[in-house]
Amino acid sequence: MFDPLLIGIVFLLAGFIQGMTGFGSALVAIPLLSLFLDIKSAVPLCMLNSLVITSFLALKMRNHLDRKKIIPLCLAAVPGIFVGSTLLKHTSSTLIRISMGILLIVYSLYSLFSTPRPIKLHKAWSYVAGFSSGAIGAAFSAGGPPTIIYTTLNGWSKDEIKATLSGFFLFSSYLTASAHAISGLTTLEVFSYFMISAPFVLLGTVIGSTCYGRVSHNLYLQLIFTFLVLMGIMMIIT
């Protein structure tokens, strides 16, 4: 048996990270939650808390939201979310844990050592990124990497990237949470954990959003991705 306060602390940190960067809450929360929760409880719990984070950030970044950037991602995410929910429902927890660990390591190493030049991507890539993010988000509650890579490759400003991610994650979070509820993954136990963690994640998001832009963004991301590599390794060998 674990102290429910642990869940609150995890989501305080997760909310702070996404409040700072516009992404990353699940990539931090899932590895930590999986140390004392089954992954099939951790994923829907993380998605419920994502509703709190993304609602706040979308409201905060509303002046920078661009429908032309966000809508293609959202449209493609719909079929991806239902594919990912089915995968989570019928796949073993061990396989999901290992896959998530590999995802963390690959994406974090890419972010640490790669500095891609801004390019003008064809609009079709937004649909690829949206579908991939929807599927990965529903299955692992960490669908950010495809969309994050897509937005950074376009050479958008920091505010454009964060606003686009916030708008997309707002849509995908509500849709994925609905899919989890319909499929029976969001149990009464999961909802009780959410009631405990929601105030913590909101507080973390507010603090992170307040600190946004006040520290070196590149250095901060390097520290986060280094941490995620270690957490990915932990998930694989646990």
Percent of the chain with pLDDT over 90: 27
How buried is residue 118: exposed, middle or buried, by Cβ count under 10 Å (0-12/13-18/19+)? exposed
Residue whose C-alpha is closest to residue 26's, from 11, 38, 37: 11
Given this model, what pLDDT does residue 208 score?
A: 92
| Alpha carbon distance 213, 202 (integer Å) | 19
pLDDT value of residue 83:
82
- Residue 164: its pLDDT value, please? 92
Give the integer Cα–Cα distance in Å for 157 and 159.
5
Q: Per-residue pLDDT tens for 72-119?
A: 999 998 888 788 777 767 776 677 778 778 877 887 888 788 765 666
Helix, strand or coil for residue 16?
A: helix
pTM: 0.77
Helix (H) or strand (E) holding 157: none
Sign of CA dihedral 185, 190, 192, 196: negative
Token readout for 221 is 């991301």
Q: List the chain pLDDT tens, one digit each, 238 residues.
A: 567 889 999 999 999 988 988 877 887 888 888 888 888 889 899 989 999 999 999 999 888 899 889 999 999 988 887 887 777 677 766 777 787 788 778 878 887 887 656 667 778 889 998 998 888 777 765 667 788 778 877 877 778 888 998 999 898 888 888 888 888 889 999 999 999 999 999 999 999 999 887 877 677 667 777 877 877 887 787 6
Please state, in angstroms and rounded to a whole number, the distance separating the CA atoms of residues 55 and 171: 9
